[in-house]
Amino acid sequence: MVQENSKVNNPNLEGYNVVRRYWDWFYNPAPDRQTFIAPRPKCSGVIGDDGRFNVWSVAVAAQGIVDGARVYPQELGPLIDPTVKALYQFKNNNLRGYSVSSNGDGDIYYDDDAQVAFAFVAAYEVTQNKEYLDSARELIRYLIGGWNNDGNAKVKGGILWHRDKPYISAISNTEVALSCLRIAKFIPNEKDYFVNWAAKIIDWVIDNLLDKEDYLVTDGIDKNSTPGEPNRMKWTYNTGTTLNATALLYEYTHDEKWAKLSHDLVAAAVSRDRSLFCRDYIEQDRRYWRDPSYFIQLLLEGLADYLLIFGDKAPEDNVKKIKEETFRHLDFFRKYNYDPKDGLYFQTFEPYRISPDHHKLYCEQFGDQKGFDPNNEERSQEGDGPLENKPLVKTLIGSGAAARIWFQGARILPELHYG
């Protein structure tokens, strides 16, 4: 039986606890490994049979570690270099991108690699190790090369999702723009180059993927499809990274265009009437963001940067709702996703999909409208038989995202106080 978990008062400390736990759980220092390895049974994010994770998982874990090292430099700072070295194992030395698997092939996604760039830039910011900045600069210049210049494409422009696929995803665009904006301040003689590219990319997103009716960002569009007809799925991280980029563009340019976009995007992201929230319930207090933790952490980061950049200039209602939703979701995450058996977190924000016991706990608060529906990503990726019979497992991406949820949440609410 799942018991309701204890409350967290210090989000930074909980982020630290999660990082220490997943480092001990997943990192293998053996000379022939020196990377993150999953224990058996195999979990989501593992490629092959040797337990190695995909680059996206390692990039998110790396960002969690660097987030923690900002707050706990003595305790977590020493973990940065081995983590960066683990990311280097994915590099394709010919293309200068980072492959999905550590064999360095041509299977390269621009959004995954942008998260690698996030980790490198942040690692430089924390350590001042110029090697990390050089690695970030090389990678971000590769990412800019993902701009769609296909003269035969119906949809012009945009950063491709994958170097060999026709889809142009919102997340590849927004994350590449963010990587440009994050490195720009560290390379003054190239600042304009990176900021101008970021503006060009975000302008493309606004023109092609922003739904002007609800101010949420749609998922993407195939370059060979009809312009103006995107995939209309709306994820938290697409809107979160877009508002993060528009806020940073305002910080660089002071152009009110970016301020207005930032305010409108934030208002949409924290409105329980919009589709980022699960709207299966009439009651507003039962509506929560419905995505996995590795998407929601990017929305929280965008909201935190927005508050930092705009401060007193932010609309009062936006500030109030950001703090309210951050508190609600941190409390929700702790209650339903924390596993006291190992100190790690499940990743779905639909806890009725974790286990029958989680479903029962969920029904106590939300009623029995939703039945138990096991989530594949929370269970072993090997073996036969019904999904619900496979063992529950923790993932590296879910663990890194959990740490980031706490660290980014702490930027908004350094302490949590319960009524």
pLDDT at position 187 over 70: yes
Each residue's pLDDT tens digit, 115-142:
999 999 999 999 999 999 999 999 999 9
CA distance 372 to 303: 32
Each residue's pLDDT tens digit, 155-167:
999 999 999 999 9
Q: What does DSSP assign to residue 39?
A: P
User: How many whole angstroms from its chain centre is CA 48?
Assistant: 24
Average pLDDT over residues 307-330: 99
Average pLDDT over residues 407-419: 97
Question: For residue 114, what are the contacts with CB-CB under 8 A and spacing of at least 6?
Answer: 143, 172, 175, 176, 178, 179
CA distance 284 to 288: 9
Average pLDDT over residues 251-280: 98
Of 70-74, 104-108, 270-274, the one with minimum mean pLDDT is 104-108
Average pLDDT of every residue of the chain:
98
pLDDT of residue 273: 98
User: Facing residues of 91 across strands?
Assistant: 98
Domains and CATH numbers, the chain: 11-412 (1.50.10.20)
CA distance 370 to 393: 23
DSSP-derived secondary structure for 227-252: TT--B----HHHHHHHHHHHHHHHHH
pLDDT of residue 1: 67
